């Protein structure tokens, strides 16, 4: 039987205590959920974020307005390799700030730049709005990133949870457009299914009751905010498990053992094997969704970040 990492068990107890008296996310509006996440999650888990040589805030032009990008520079020679990072948060919550610590650690551990994307969130901007911002950012950096000290020939994309979905969808959209600006993709406990009322995987049944950071009810709430209707449940850029996967660059996929989204990744791994896509799959035992934020209390989280950063660095070597 799987066993929780003892430090992870302590974190879950801390989260449970902190959430006493607070409403369930699924009872909140998107704006209220963002405020609750900021108050209960972001401040605590970003408190130990490391210092870097420089962090810049830029804006780049998008079809529907400026797209904010935060560039993390660990102080490396230019032109530098770069990981375009897409934050998680169920397409509804999350921000440049929520993932500030994660991006700093990836840049520091990997010795590459990280460009974090502030894409449009749902439900104000439903699918495919956020995806369009991610695609536009990659295209802009590939064409103009040299102005920021980025080597446009050494780009990768990555993301966690909903950001993993968006990162994979970005790779698929660029492939379909016959564009190959990205050398690799890093997909961290991603969401690759439609989360409708009749969707239940074995991992959702085992870990989706709300006791492991993320619940199946949360995912249905996120999904309902993200998509416009049933047609999107079958769109391969919203549901990457429905897409043709051939022709993608090398991928690294990670999954947390105590995560309702675990089976999303194992199903994707099987599809990648069938499609002949080069990939690495790491299952992280004893931990839950969102664990890479938890370096403050979870020792293995830093090791996982270093493993992922090392893999990306290898893919971006000249």
- Catalytic residue IDs: 161, 259, 289
Maximum separation of any 2 CA atoms in the chain, in Å: 53
Decide: 279 and 76 in contact? Cβ < 8 Å.
no
Q: Give the position of tokens 């660990």.
A: 74
Measured from the Cβ of residue 53, the count of other Cβ atoms closer than 10 Å reads 11
C-alpha closest to that of 171 among 239, 120, 247: 247
The full DSSP string for 24-42 is PGGGS-HHHHHHHHIIIII
The full DSSP string for 156-190 is EEEEETHHHHHHHHHHHHHHHTT----SEEEEES-
CA–CA gap between residue 261 and residue 304 (Å, rounded): 18
Strand order of the β-sheet with 80-86 is 54-60, 67-73, 113-118, 80-86, 150-160, 184-188, 251-258, 279-288
CA–CA gap between residue 152 and residue 138 (Å, rounded): 10
How many H helices and E strands in the chain?
10, 8
CA–CA gap between residue 209 and residue 298 (Å, rounded): 22
Burial code (b: 16+ CB inside 10 Å, e: under 16) for 188-226 equals bbbbbbbbeeeeebebbebbbebebbbbbbbbbbbbebb
């Amino acid at each position: 039987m799987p066993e929780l990492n003892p430090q992870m068990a302590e974190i879950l107890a801390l989260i449970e205590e902190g959430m006493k008296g607070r409403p369930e996310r699924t009872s909140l509006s998107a704006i209220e959920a963002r405020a609750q996440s900021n108050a209960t999650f972001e401040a605590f888990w970003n408190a130990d974020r490391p210092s870097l040589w420089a962090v810049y805030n830029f804006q780049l032009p998008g079809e529907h307005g400026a797209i904010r990008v935060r560039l993390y520079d660990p102080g490396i020679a230019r032109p530098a390799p770069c990981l375009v990072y897409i934050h998680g948060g169920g397409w509804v919550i999350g921000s440049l700030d929520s993932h500030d610590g994660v991006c700093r650690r990836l840049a520091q551990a990997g010795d590459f730049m990280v460009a974090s994307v502030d894409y449009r969130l749902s439900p104000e901007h439903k699918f495919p709005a956020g995806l369009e911002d991610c695609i536009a950012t990659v295209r802009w950096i590939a064409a103009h990133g040299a102005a920021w000290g980025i080597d446009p020939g050494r780009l990768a994309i990555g993301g966690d949870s909903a950001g993993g979905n968006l990162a994979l969808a970005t790779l698929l959209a660029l492939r379909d457009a016959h564009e190959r600006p990205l050398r690799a993709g890093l997909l961290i406990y991603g969401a690759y299914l439609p989360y409708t009322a009749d969707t239940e995987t074995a991992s959702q049944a085992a870990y989706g009751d709300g006791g492991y950071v993320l619940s199946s009810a949360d995912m249905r709430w996120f999904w309902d905010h993200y998509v416009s209707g049933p047609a999107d449940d079958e769109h391969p850029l919203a549901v990457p498990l429905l897409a043709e996967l051939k022709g993608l660059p090398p991928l690294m996929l990670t999954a947390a053992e105590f995560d309702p989204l675990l089976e999303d990744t194992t199903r994707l791994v099987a599809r990648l094997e069938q499609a002949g896509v080069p990939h690495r799959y790491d299952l992280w035992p004893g931990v839950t969704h969102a664990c890479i934020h938890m370096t403050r209390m979870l020792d293995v989280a830093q090791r996982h970040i270093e493993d992922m950063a090392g893999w990306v660095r290898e893919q971006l070597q000249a």
